Amino acid sequence: MMARPGRLPREEQTLPPNIQRALAARASGSNWNDAAEVGNITPANLRKWRKHPDAAGYLQECVLHNIEDANAYIADHAPALAARLVELGLDRNTRPYAAIQAISESFKILSTNIADRENREELKTIKAALDRLEGVNTVDIYAESES
């Protein structure tokens, strides 16, 4: 379908704000009809915008932002979650299958954290060796955040 005279074809336009809002709603779990409603457009029109060269990248960016938000929320509540997990695992009134799952998850988390720490230490050693070989200082973003 051709664009109206004097109007750029959809593929050559930037994603309008209402389309961005609709795509963000889709990335947050809305179906296409609900996402179209957020953008105040028809579902058919949103599906056409979905084919825009920037739409897939924008959707992916929204999904990654949602994942970062979820990770931050979980990290903020990690101490309470860990306490509850241990409480479930140790509670004699917890059903055995649930206690086994809670205990297993606790050990998985512990194991992962130990492995991550060891990997960070190994990475520091490798970076130091590279620095000595290249005579350059590399920046370790993890080391700065741990201090």
Domain ranges of the chain: 16-72, 77-146
pLDDT of residue 139: 60
pLDDT in tens, 56-104: 999 999 999 998 898 888 888 888 888 888 888 888 888 888 888 888 8
Please give the residue that has the higher pLDDT: either 54 or 89: 54
Of the candidates 113, 70, 107, 71, the one whose C-alpha atom is nearest the C-alpha of residue 89 is 107
Higher pLDDT, 38 or 83: 38
Does the pLDDT of residue 25 top 90, yes or no? yes
**Residue reference for tokens 């938000």:** 69
Residue 39 in this model has a pLDDT that exceeds 60: yes
Q: Which pair of tokens denotes residue 127?
A: 């970076």
pTM for the model stands at 0.58
Cα angle 80-85-87, degrees, rounded to a multiple of 5: 95
pLDDT at 136: 67
